[in-house]
Structure 1
């Protein structure tokens, strides 16, 4: 079964999906007039709360939506995902993660603008957003089959199994093994059950509680992680420019790991970027669709900050730590353990504990937010009255993730993400002209407002 999952994941992440995500994203970058660059300053003002409207429809503020989306993206994708990218594709994979992030900013702008433009209502009459509603409300009922495909893949793929797996590994290696308390598989079961109970305390309170916890945790955990990373990089400052050059060189040579297989390095970079920042997958539009705003473009501008913070900033810093400490040459590919080695080498004695705490907070915050995504997919398919049943399924799978091998877990999540990307990107490309018109009208209004 594990081999079949791995084969399916490798097959679906082929050229067609790469063209759809990277090519589609590049088209949106051009079509929106390079919105990630010209709209960045305005997006920062919006995040600062300058335009918040407390009377607008929705469940959470735009800042809470961004925090919740970042809680799901700035997480183990930045710690384990980057390590996996370097382990499997060499440092050159990081360059292709950068490329994916810049086109991903345009993709996220379009998809999250659409999430507000085409909000729908669930069976209880509550306003909802996300690709499934964008497809049904924006493209019409005849395209509903795409919404169903998205939601089925979302229910299966938006589980916290990867986070559970990697957090279990770190707890075993850093805490339990030195104390002689690691009994192998039984330990994994115990950790999995404890994680399940912790996550249950938050997610059973709904999106308001998830957003409240995420908006407090995210700034704190990112700051703490940055401090550790900057200390390591400062100690190895002379090597940083050389490592950045090597990332670019390796992106086009592929010699480090795969003997010239540049195409494979691009695929690895795109896969890890998709897992890291989720641009084009369709998850962020679900949480941004719940924002208290009546301005679709404004929400899109906020959303596009996600890939920038996540991939351009956080992933690059993690990659540099792995490279300047030299641990990437060891051949270790088990995700978080490679980053753990880098932190221990960069900050002897305390590095592993700093990373343990970061992983703990990153993993738990991601687990909280992912439950909301799957809950919305379940709600769409089976109705609001039955949606809460999904939470119990979600909680049980946390234990499953803790006791399953990393390769199978990662391949399963990758495969489901790929399936979700097709409906999301098809709807975004189909409705891009609507976003372009809305963007033009919005900036005209803002220009007139500033003159008054």
Structure 2
């Protein structure tokens, strides 16, 4: 097992170096310049679409614009925003946050292109249901000769969609926060196949498995309805908590932004890495947070009830803005304003304890930990619900719609695996899968970018002429 963990870690560190930096950041920069920043001019229109002003219930598809974005955000606004931000700061210093922002701006353009294509080139599964996603963009947009690339995407998406990271971090949080409060010995364990398994972690995994099972077998319609209710609640609760903390440290905020920008270009001597290492940390954690270019979001946005591809691309681009520019920034400000990250700089640490320490320091009486625990619970469960659909969709593409549902059984089983596995292995496995998923997603989007540009010119011309109703 140790050999496998080392191999996965080494591969993840290599591919998330120069190769993915060029692909993800370079791809986003290409989309931004190629579009001439046009999508950025239509945020207000995107919000109107999200509000339901242009909903078309009679069109092909399964869910509304709002349900699509809620489901996509439910899978991105999760542990990456709480744990991942802490990992980025401890590994890359405050400067890593700046590069998360840069990656998010590029991600807005990437989401616009990839999700517009997801509707433009939809296909049908073996049951005749209309479906979207990178695998259909590749086969329908580039042709059947490119199908091996679509298969490549689906194979690694089966691993990337696994719930092991969310289950792992939620378990760690609950053990840390609730274990001492209820007097439960979280260190109590048993041996299984040579591994030391915590009883508390196993119980948490079993409870999560039951909760998630009650929703995911209902398919995308049930998942999207639950997500559309969870997402607004979790963002509002987290926002209120963070604003309360920041008001206590209001005077320090200008200095925090100054240190983020300064260290983004000067690096941090404590970390022993240069500018490139900091950029990589920011891009890597941003990709884990908002998934722009990875290919998961197009799978759900491609199922929207609409025949206007550009319209869904505009809705999708709101995702990185909400996820990284708002939620991740809020988490970063809490961690940096309390200063709890400083002893951990340059060390390999789990993200949850750092964020938890910040909340406990800012909110007295131990209440910070319990409130953060509530947020973590909602964030993690919402992500667990959404990711299952991505795996089902990929397995359906590979084996047929009826066999695709088998993935749900694999999915709920690996929730327990995630609850008891080591964080390092979990992180690197998902990171590696995301990296490999990005290759076909961004490559196909670049090749089909002229189609998006042509559709955009037509759509915005009709919008300007008042032809949208």
TM-score by length of structure 2 reads: 0.95
Assess, with a 3 A threshold, how the Cα gap between structure 1 residues 4 and 48 changes in structure 2: closer, same or farther: same
Any unmatched runs of 5+ in structure 2? 190-197
CA contact under 8 A between 2:462 and 2:468: conserved in structure 1?
Answer: no
1:172 is aligned to: 175
Q: Which of residues 130, 134, 156 is equivalent to 1:131?
A: 134
Asked if structure 1 preserves the Cα contact closer than 8 Å seen for 2:71 and 2:224, the reply is yes
Q: 2:193 is matched with which residue? A: none
How far apart in 2 are the matches of 1:282 and 1:54?
A: 25
Residue 93 (1) aligns with residue 96 (2): yes
Instruction: Give 1:369's match in structure 2, choosing from 375, 378, 386.
Output: 386
Report the Cα distance in structure 2 between the residues aligned to 1:418 and 1:41, rounded to whole angstroms: 32
- Which residue among 375, 386, 403 is the counterpart of 1:358? 375
Structure 1 equivalent of residue 201 of structure 2: 188
Could you tell me which residue of structure 2 aligns to residue 348 of structure 1? 364
Whether 2:264 is the aligned partner of 1:251: answer yes
Cα deviation for residue 176 of structure 1 reads 1.2
**Are the counterparts in 2 of residues 94 and 319 from structure 1 also a CA contact under 8 Å?**
yes
Match of 1:73 among 72, 76, 82: 76
Counting only pairs closer than 5 Å after superposition, residues 33-112 of structure 1 correspond to structure 2 as 33-112=36-115
Runs of 4+ in 1 over 6 A off after TM superposition: none
Q: Deviations over 1:50-69 (max 9, x none)?
A: 11111111000000000000
CA distance in 2, matches of 1:308, 1:136: 30
Partner of 1:288: 301
Measure the CA separation in 2 of the matches of 1:88 and 1:21: 20
Contact map agreement 1:225 1:358 (CA 8 A) in 2: yes
Q: What does 1:229-308 align with in structure 2 at a 5 Å threshold?
A: 229-255=242-268, 257-308=270-321
Aligned-residue offset at 1:156: 0.9
Equivalence for 1:14:
17
Please give the alpha-carbon distance, in whole angstroms, between the structure 2 residues aligned to 1:410 and 1:113.
30
The answer to whether the Cα contact below 8 Å between 1:35 and 1:106 also exists between their aligned partners in 2 is no
Kindly state the Cα deviation for residue 258 of structure 1 after the two structures are TM-superposed.
2.1
Comparing 125-134 and 253-262, the one that deviates more: 253-262
Distance (Å, rounded) in 1 between the aligned partners of 2:141 and 2:242: 44
CA contact (8 A) 1:253 1:260 kept: no
Q: Distance in 1 between matches of 2:390 and 2:270?
A: 36
State the match for 1:328 in structure 2. 341
3-state DSSP class of the match of 1:398? helix
Give the whole-Å Cα distance in 2 for the aligned partners of 1:100 and 1:277: 10
- The whole-number CA distance in structure 2 between the counterparts of 1:132 and 1:340 is 39
| Separation of aligned partners in 2, 1:36 and 1:444 | 13
Name stretches of at least 5 consecutive residues in structure 1 with no aligned partner: none
* CA RMSD between the two structures: 1.2
Aligned equivalents of 2:273 and 2:267: distance in 1?
4
Q: Which residue of 2 aligns with 1:226?
A: 239
Aligned residues of 1:70 and 1:306 also touching (Cα < 8 A): yes
User: Matched residues in 1 for 2:160 and 2:228: separation?
Assistant: 24
Q: Is the 8 A contact 1:321 1:343 kept in 2?
A: yes
| Count of residue pairs the alignment pairs up | 452
3-state SS in 2 of match to 1:108? helix
- Pairwise CA distance, 1:260: 4.8
> What TM-score does the superposition give when structure 1 sets the normalisation length?
0.98
Cα-to-partner distance string for 1:154-189 (whole Å, 9 max, x where unaligned)? 001111110000000111011113333122412111
Deviates more, 1:354-363 or 1:249-258: 249-258
Between 324-333 and 397-406, the greater mean CA deviation after superposition: 324-333
The secondary structure found in structure 2 opposite 1:301 is: helix
